[in-house]
Structure 1
Amino acid sequence: MSSKQFFRQQLPLVLVFLFFLSLISVSKSDELQPLLKFKSALQKSNTNVFSSWTQDNSNSICNFTGIVCNSNGLVREINLPEQNLRGVLPFDSICTLQSLEKLSLGSNFLYGTISEDLKNCTGLLYLDVGCNSFSGEVPDLSSLGKLKFLNLNNSGFSGQFPWRSMENLTSLTFLSLGDNFFETSPFPKEVFKLEKLYWLYLSNCSLEGPIPEGLGNLTQLINLELSCNQLSGEIPGDIGKLKNLWQLELYSNFLSGKLPVGFGNLTSLVNLDANHNNLQGNISEVRFLTKLASLHLFENQFTGEVPEELGEFNDLVKLSLYTNKFTGPLPQKLGSLADFVYIDVSENFLTGPIPPDMCKNGKMVELLLLQNRFTGGIPKNYVNCSSLIRLRVNNNSLSGVVPAGIWSLPNLSIIDLSMNHFEGPVASDIGKAKSLAQLFLSDNLFSGELPTAISGASSLVSIQLSSNHFSGQIPATLGGLNKLNSLRLDGNMFSGFIPDSLGSCISLADINLSGNSLSGNIPASLGYLPTLNSLNLSNNNLSGEIPTSLSSVKLSLLDLSNNRLIGQIPVSLSIPAFIASFTGNPGLCSPNLKQFQPCSSDSSTRHHLRTLISCFTVGALILLVSLAGFLSVKLRHNDRDHPLKPISWKMKPYHVLSFSENEVINAIQKDNLIGKGGSGNVYKVTLADGRELAVKHIWITESGDRKNCQSSSAVLTKRNLRSAEYEAEVATLSSLRHVNVVKLYCSITSEDSNLLVYEYFPNGSLWDKLHICRTTEMGWKLRYEIALGAARGLEYLHHGCDRPVIHRDVKSSNILLDGDWKPRIADFGLAKIVQAGGGEWTHVVAGTLGYMAPEYAYTYKVNEKSDVYSFGVVLLELVTGKRPIEPEFGENRDIVCWVCSKINSIDSLRDLVDSTISEALKEDAIKVLTIAIHCTEKIPSLRPSMRIVVQMLEEADPSKLTNIVVDKECQNSLNERLKNTGRFRALEFES
């Protein structure tokens, strides 16, 4: 064959080849523009990602960051997860990429709606846009029939659940639609047609009603998550067909009934979590699930014994069965075959001894057995459990001497042995427990002296040793515990003097030394504790006069009764609320309390003279010790009773300002002082234009620490606390913008001081109006408006910021009232911004006694629900007019316990309402009382969010003509609480 003939024969093939080459070239060129449009929509959020996406690079789109091409050089994948991308996705361009099979944009900040253009991406096999901030409904996905992987989780979608799209996606193997704001809908049966699914995540997406039969069709499932919905009824019987299931999460629903027969067929199950439902019966089916590593069935109604077979499981490391009705002993081999990490079987009826080998492999971090009927002692080999962080066995029938090594375990943060029959001493080795924050030994038979070495446990926040047989003197070394917040030694046999060194425990808020044999004077140093909130020294043999320093402390509880005190009761403490605080002291007198003898002029003169001599003596000693330091400080710093000089000050504005720093600084004078706190003074500043400001002056040097009786280490600690408090408040407040959150105008700083400039509140705080200067203006309608406004402020902090802000010190004294009585949430010195993960771990008990949520003592992880509890206490104050802690509540009881003890009918609720509230409005107050009860649930997950609280309060508006008393959840919560207290009578709530 000649070359010409060959060329003629091959020419058509060559032309076809060249034609296809040209098509590919055109197609590659066509794909550049959609990519550049994609870049244009998002590039401002992260220029680094798109630096390679340029027009000049048009021949190499496959080299663009995040782009993967197929063999023809066409875009097959866009992979840009977790790149901080912000903007609206241009699906009209993206879906012109005809070879696109994978679009992975999860965990960014994409927003806006997803357009209907998505239906044109018909070649997609993989779509992940989860963890973004979209709005609107999920578009119709039925045309994406090739999809195998679909993740729309936690992306802000709303509207109807997209079940109609699902039934056509029969190729799906991975489906995640959870954590979105869909309208409430029944469980989508259409999902059961997707028989290739191995992963199904439908948690927290507003599903309600029963799970229908058909679940057993999904035999390929290894993960099934349906938690945090409103699912009810029994677990479907055909669930036992899912023999490949590795993880099953059904928690936080309303499921009932028993574990179905055949549940034990899930032999591949490793993680099972069905907590917080209403499941009942025994858990004998669990004994077949031998591969379990974690088993969480807490907060249900399970009964019967814990299967003995659990002790034979080789992989079980986490067991949580608390708040059920289990009986009998725990398997004695429990944890002996695995690296056991965690056990919580609290609040059951379990008996017998503590299993001895749960920490055999030295990995256990939490041992929580509280509120059962365990007997025997703490196994001796637990002294080798150096990994242990939390040990709580309180409220059992345990006895014997605690093994000495337990006290010094290096990582232990809480020891709770209270309400048992333990005896013997606290070992001196407790000083080696450097991580120990909470020591609870109340209501036992402990004896001997409290070791002085306890000061070595420098992380201690709470010491509660009430109702034991401790004797000897209270160690003066306690003064070295700078983090100590609560000290309760009442009901023992301590003798001797109260250590003056307690005045160095600058974090102390609660002191109870009542019911001992203490003698001598009340130390004046206690009056200098900046956060002291409760002081009970009753039923001792204390003598001398009440120190005038206590006059400056804001106390919610003061009890000095039944001692041998003499002299005049300080004027600021001579108020009706404190009458019972001084009874049983015949030597006391008062010029204005009729229950006490009047003070003669001689006794008054002697009182003032003794005070003057005492102050002079202390002052002279201080002067002799610190003269050199005082002089050097005096040369460098201005007297704080005179105007501050502006030379070294720097102003940082957070709003548009009409004043200068000089105008503020010159007004920081003694005459303008309106308040004192632990971190500094507060001044009222009147500007030239007549506007008024409040200025918090925070000292950060030793020159500002006027309590010179404190040690240098205490001063240093206080300075660090103040610096941290200042930084927390500025960081939080400077970015907040809400009508019910206090406005921070600016900060003014120097080398040794910080000024925070706020709007001024002429009506003070809610605490002042409710408990100090009660006014007839505080009728129910005003109280309601204050409650609603404060709730909206907290709702903004929890739900309206980029990341939720946990206030951590919500109380009535931190709710300020402007000239129109509008409330503002204030004082953010303890606030925390929630990081990814949804909670904050703290080893310091933050907050104020009476307002703190119970989980502070149970877990160190706090979240927004801790604020909800504190706000519930504020609501109780508004309704009842009572303080969070009152002597009438009884020992170790607060307003929440008191209210719970009083409710057994609608009439009893009416009796709780403040008597100054008119009869016509008491029904409205009861509505808010029931909301408060809901907010103060013991279990955080049962409390409503602040968004729901606002909605409930809006429904309780006294100006509305409505018959709604309280929402259904709150009604059920109240009824359940009445059942639990044994005083249940059906309450007739109108609906």
Structure 2
Amino acid sequence: MAAFLSLFLLFCFLACRSLSLTQDGLHLLDAKSFLDDPVSSLSDWSPSDATPCNWTGVTCAPPPLFPAVTALDLSNLGLIGPFPSALCRLLDLSSLSLSLNYLNSSLSSSSFLGCYSLTRLDLSQNSFTGPLPAFLPSLLPRLLYLDLSVNNFSGPIPSSFGQFASLRSLSLVGNLLSGPVPAFLSNLSSLHELNLSYNPFTPTPLPPSLANLTSLRVLWLASCNLIGSIPPSLGRLSNLTDLDLSYNCISGDIPDSLAVLSSVVQIELYSNNLTGPVPSGLSNLTELRLFDASMNQLSGQIPEDVFLAPSLESFHLYENNLTGAIPSTITRCDNLAELRLFSNQLDGPLPADFGKNSPLSFVDLSDNLLSGEIPAGICGGGMLDQLLLLDNMFSGSLPESLGQCSTLTRVRLLNNRLSGEVPPAFWGLPHVWLLELAGNCFTGDISPAISGATNLSKLVISNNQFEGRIPEEMGALSNLYEFSAANNRLAGPLPEGLVNFAALGLLDLHNNSLSGEIVSGVRWWKKLIRLNLANNEFTGSIPPELGDLPVLNYLDLSGNQLTGTIPLELQNLKLNEFNLSNNQLSGTLPPQFATRIYENSFLGNPGLCVDVNEPCAGQRRGGNSIRYGFPWLLRSIYILSAAALVAAAAWFYRKYRSSKEVNRATEKPSWMLTSFHKLGFSEDEISGCLDEDSVIGSGASGKVYKAVLSNGEAVAVKKLWETPGKTDVFESVDDGFEAEVATLGKIRHKNIVKLWCCCTHKDCKLLVYEYMPHGSLGDLLHGSKGGLLDWPTRYKIAVDAAEGLSYLHHDCVPPIVHRDIKSNNILLDEEFGAKVADFGVAKAIVGKDPKSMSIVAGSCGYIAPEYAYTLRVNEKSDIYSYGVVILELVTGRRPADPELGEKDLARWVQSTVEHKGVDHVLDPKLDVCYKEEMCKVLDIGLLCASKLPISRPSMRMVIKMLLEVGSENKQLKPAKDRNQVSLLP
């Protein structure tokens, strides 16, 4: 009877518990109540459930009666608030991850009472402040894994951190930690990983006692302000696989003891002050895959036996002072894939069997004194992807075997002494997108086999001795953006196939012997920016179609035998460089060119004149006398005639538009318009302006049109790309588009481009912005008009852009992270006021997936370096990108300029200023009277582009520093009063 009663009571107890939430579930709900959940990530945490084991992020293990919560993963859910101490009431909790959220405040011991069972704690990539929690070793005695990276912890590492009993992994990367790198961490005898990188520690040597951590596998101390030498005792770390001491101030020799690290896979010592040779004992490192001692001050020669390591995969010694030849033992590295030795003083020939037995994929030996022939077996492994040998003294011909190296994508051989004919198969490599052969002594012709190079985007063969015709087969290169073949011996007419270059942006064929007429059909070169056909033998007339090219700003047809009149259509162009001199042109000069700006553009054309009422002056006097200005009477007649013509055209245009709107009204289009301001136009009027002739730009997210409305005003219309077959992209657009543009539509700031409205129709989505007459800062700064942007204008642009970005970060609720700050996304109005554009478009496309955001957001040269250890993009990432924009304004260079080698702009400026001085980075087009101010702004840019996110100032602080710089100098004149800027269209 007693047994039956016990079973009955147990049944009743279980039945009652099944009708209510378990105690662990109640604790979780209590923890949730202390957190903000703006995106409802924890919406399924419901008190109506019997158990929390199916809730988001919850893992349970079944005890004898009831399931208990053992692990909690709430990473990357957008949670806001303090550390939820209620989680420590979960008695069986062993693993807790709250990384990639917005948790803040400091950590107190009361918050962790009860977390005795924790073995794994991950609070990385939040906003915790204050000192590191010194109480953790005593409150969490079983802890094996601790990650507090990428927060705002400050102060020294507490001594108690040397008392963890069983800790295997300690990561404190990317905080504000000060004091020395502590020696007491050597007490953590069970430690496998020690990651302290990117902290502003007090300059101190690396503690030799860390060699006592004999179980250590990863030692990551990049950018820790380490000084002194590398302790030889590190050779005792027999289990070490990854050693990273980069970005410090370590000096002295690389100790021979590192050769004892038999398990090491990767050694990175770059950006230090190391000297001396590479240790010869590295030949004993049988598992070494990466040895990177780049950007030091190494001197001497490369030892012969450094390349005896059979498992060596990557070898980086670039930007040092190494001399001598590359050892022949390199041919014995059966696994060598990467060899980067650029920017040294290496000389002599490459070993004859170089590459023959190695799976080389990346070879960069640029900027040395290497000579001899390129080895025939350099692509012997069949995996060579990039071959960079520029700025050496290589001679002889290209090996025939390179024509069979189908894996090549990037070839840079410019500025050597190579000669002979280029193998036909080499011209047609199918995957090459960059082929640079300029500055050599190559002969022969361009092979018709080039039609096979369907991926080719940039072909640079200038300054050689190429001859013969440009083959018709080049018309197959639909992706070609640049074709530079100046200073050769090319002859014959231009092939008709050139008109197929729809992507062509630069065509430079000057100083050849090309003849015939300039090809018709150039109207298809809608992306052409620069056209230089000077000093050839072209005949016939100038194609009027050139005036239809929307972005052409450099046109040089001088030194030919062109005849006829100058087409009036050329007046449509906004040209920075215009030269038709030394031809046989005749007739009247178009009125727009009859100004002093173009006075040197038409020299050597005796038949040209301005006065239509008299015979050309050149015909009367036999000289080239171009007179600027018309008699006042004729000028009046012309003005009245032009006004009448414009009025008539406007009347016909209105009639045409009116009839067109009637037709569209009968079609009943289904456009849906969402407006954010009072509009003076309809969606039909916008959609009717989207033709190819009005394209003014194109980017990763869409194409931009200039739409001139019936009231005479202009707007910019971005049409998002349609990607058939990729429905996942447009599904995310459909999910977030309306909400995203609603957010953008609420923004009101003078330095943010105004979003008028959005229009949607099926898969077509349009964003209508205010039109910015001077286009983007990037196009203006890096085009031929860069010299017209004087320093006061650039300073004003920097301040304007900072104010717009500060508004996004500090005044919007919630804050907006742009994620793609770059000079091309800073637009300029008629007064050269800068406005930030294109924020939010990438977010509308990719939705909420953080990995997708990290992939889409950002552009080459602007992306912050912390992507090495985090996928999250925040305000600090924007500030880094803005810092790069400042460096562009001061230096005039692009963020990823080929002239910078493998460095980005931020690292190039920093390195050049340190080693050569500031004068080597300032834009030579700028007036030296502003040097002091430019240097101060440069310092601000370098601060914003700091490697450490914590070192970057907020945008409010950036504005304060910029304004202080301006107040210390004379008051700037308005841009509209300066002649340099007034020349811009």
Name the TM-score, length of structure 2 as normaliser. Answer: 0.71
Write the distance in 2 (CA, Å) between the matches of 1:406 and 1:770: 36
Write the distance in 1 (CA, Å) between the matches of 2:341 and 2:74: 38
- Report if the CA contact (8 A) 1:588-1:597 is conserved: no
- Report if the CA contact (8 A) 2:758-2:766 is conserved: yes
Determine the structure 2 residue equivalent to 1:104.
97
Write the distance in 2 (CA, Å) between the matches of 1:579 and 1:771: 25
Give the superposition deviation at 1:440.
1.8
Give the superposition deviation at 1:432.
1.4
Determine the structure 2 residue equivalent to 1:743.
754
| 1:195 and 2:189 aligned | yes
Moved more, 224-233 or 676-685: 676-685
Change (3 A) 1:520 1:806: farther
Give the superposition deviation at 1:564.
2.8
| 1:125 and 2:132 aligned | no
- The one-letter amino acid paired with 1:806 is D
Write the distance in 2 (CA, Å) between the matches of 1:149 and 1:181: 21
289, 293, 298: which one aligns with 1:293: 289
- Report if the CA contact (8 A) 1:130-1:152 is conserved: yes
| 1:562 and 2:582 aligned | yes
Change (3 A) 1:399 1:566: same
- The one-letter amino acid paired with 1:492 is N
Change (3 A) 1:262 1:101: same
Secondary structure (helix, strand or coil) at the match of 1:789 reads helix
Determine the structure 2 residue equivalent to 1:955.
961
Q: Any idea what the Cα deviations from partners look like across 1:931-979, whole Å, max 9, x if unmatched?
A: 6997999xx9899999699867743546777699xxxxxxxxxxxxxxx
- Report if the CA contact (8 A) 1:258-1:281 is conserved: yes
- The one-letter amino acid paired with 2:626 is F
Write the distance in 1 (CA, Å) between the matches of 2:490 and 2:854: 38
- The one-letter amino acid paired with 1:293 is R
Write the distance in 2 (CA, Å) between the matches of 1:30 and 1:825: 51
Write the distance in 1 (CA, Å) between the matches of 2:967 and 2:628: 53
Change (3 A) 1:929 1:868: closer
Determine the structure 2 residue equivalent to 1:401.
421
Determine the structure 1 residue equivalent to 2:872.
none
Secondary structure (helix, strand or coil) at the match of 1:215 reads helix
Give the superposition deviation at 1:429.
1.6
Give the superposition deviation at 1:453.
0.9
Give the superposition deviation at 1:311.
3.1
- Report if the CA contact (8 A) 1:468-1:491 is conserved: yes
Match runs of 1:279-428 below 5 Å: 279-285=274-280, 286-303=282-299, 304-305=301-302, 306-428=326-448
- Report if the CA contact (8 A) 1:389-1:413 is conserved: yes
| 1:432 and 2:452 aligned | yes
Determine the structure 1 residue equivalent to 2:820.
806
Give the superposition deviation at 1:93.
0.8
Give the superposition deviation at 1:787.
2.7
Give the superposition deviation at 1:188.
3.5
Moved more, 253-262 or 513-522: 253-262
- The one-letter amino acid paired with 1:805 is R
Write the distance in 1 (CA, Å) between the matches of 2:780 and 2:458: 35
Change (3 A) 1:514 1:245: farther
Match runs of 1:430-829 below 5 Å: 430-590=450-610, 596-598=626-628, 638-639=659-660, 648=669, 650=671, 652-653=673-674, 655=676, 657-659=677-679, 662=682, 677=696, 680-683=705-708, 695-696=715-716, 736=744, 737=747, 739=749, 740-748=751-759, 756-758=767-769, 784-793=795-804, 804-806=818-820, 810=824, 814-816=827-829, 823-826=834-837
Change (3 A) 1:520 1:291: farther
* Percent of paired sites with the same residue: 28
- The one-letter amino acid paired with 2:292 is H
Write the distance in 2 (CA, Å) between the matches of 1:802 and 1:115: 31
Change (3 A) 1:563 1:763: closer
Moved more, 433-442 or 274-283: 274-283
Match runs of 1:245-264 below 5 Å: 245-264=240-259
Q: Any idea what the Cα deviations from partners look like across 1:440-486, whole Å, max 9, x if unmatched?
A: 22222222222111121222122222222222222221111211222
165, 173, 179: which one aligns with 2:168: 173
| 1:266 and 2:261 aligned | yes
Change (3 A) 1:471 1:780: closer
Aligned length: 846
- The one-letter amino acid paired with 1:160 is G
Q: Any idea what the Cα deviations from partners look like across 1:903-950, whole Å, max 9, x if unmatched?
A: 9998998996559xxx7xx4654446756997999xx98999996998
- Report if the CA contact (8 A) 1:144-1:169 is conserved: no
Determine the structure 1 residue equivalent to 2:58.
66
Write the distance in 1 (CA, Å) between the matches of 2:948 and 2:362: 23
- The one-letter amino acid paired with 1:188 is P
Match runs of 1:973-984 below 5 Å: none
Change (3 A) 1:61 1:459: closer
- Report if the CA contact (8 A) 1:780-1:925 is conserved: no
Write the distance in 1 (CA, Å) between the matches of 2:55 and 2:630: 95
- Report if the CA contact (8 A) 1:233-1:257 is conserved: yes
Change (3 A) 1:913 1:63: closer
Change (3 A) 1:699 1:187: closer
Determine the structure 1 residue equivalent to 2:198.
204
Write the distance in 2 (CA, Å) between the matches of 1:584 and 1:904: 45
Moved more, 797-806 or 283-292: 797-806
Secondary structure (helix, strand or coil) at the match of 2:752 reads coil
Write the distance in 2 (CA, Å) between the matches of 1:410 and 1:239: 48
Change (3 A) 1:345 1:84: farther
Write the distance in 2 (CA, Å) between the matches of 1:786 and 1:520: 45
Give the superposition deviation at 1:744.
0.7
- The one-letter amino acid paired with 1:69 is A
Change (3 A) 1:158 1:914: same
- The one-letter amino acid paired with 2:170 is L
Change (3 A) 1:82 1:90: closer
Write the distance in 1 (CA, Å) between the matches of 2:131 and 2:409: 46
Moved more, 439-448 or 375-384: 375-384
Secondary structure (helix, strand or coil) at the match of 1:323 reads coil
Secondary structure (helix, strand or coil) at the match of 1:955 reads helix
- The one-letter amino acid paired with 1:815 is L
- The one-letter amino acid paired with 2:231 is P
Write the distance in 1 (CA, Å) between the matches of 2:953 and 2:855: 20
Change (3 A) 1:824 1:477: same
Give the superposition deviation at 1:181.
3.9
Write the distance in 1 (CA, Å) between the matches of 2:668 and 2:245: 64
Write the distance in 2 (CA, Å) between the matches of 1:130 and 1:267: 32
Structure 1 unaligned runs (5+)? 1-6, 8-13, 620-633, 687-691, 702-715, 718-722, 854-862, 881-895, 965-991
Change (3 A) 1:443 1:169: farther
Give the superposition deviation at 1:44.
5.0
Write the distance in 2 (CA, Å) between the matches of 1:552 and 1:537: 17
- Report if the CA contact (8 A) 1:150-1:172 is conserved: yes
Write the distance in 1 (CA, Å) between the matches of 2:834 and 2:427: 47
131, 135, 143: which one aligns with 2:138: 143
- Report if the CA contact (8 A) 1:127-1:151 is conserved: yes
Change (3 A) 1:783 1:142: same
Change (3 A) 1:377 1:537: same
Give the superposition deviation at 1:183.
5.0
Determine the structure 1 residue equivalent to 2:152.
157
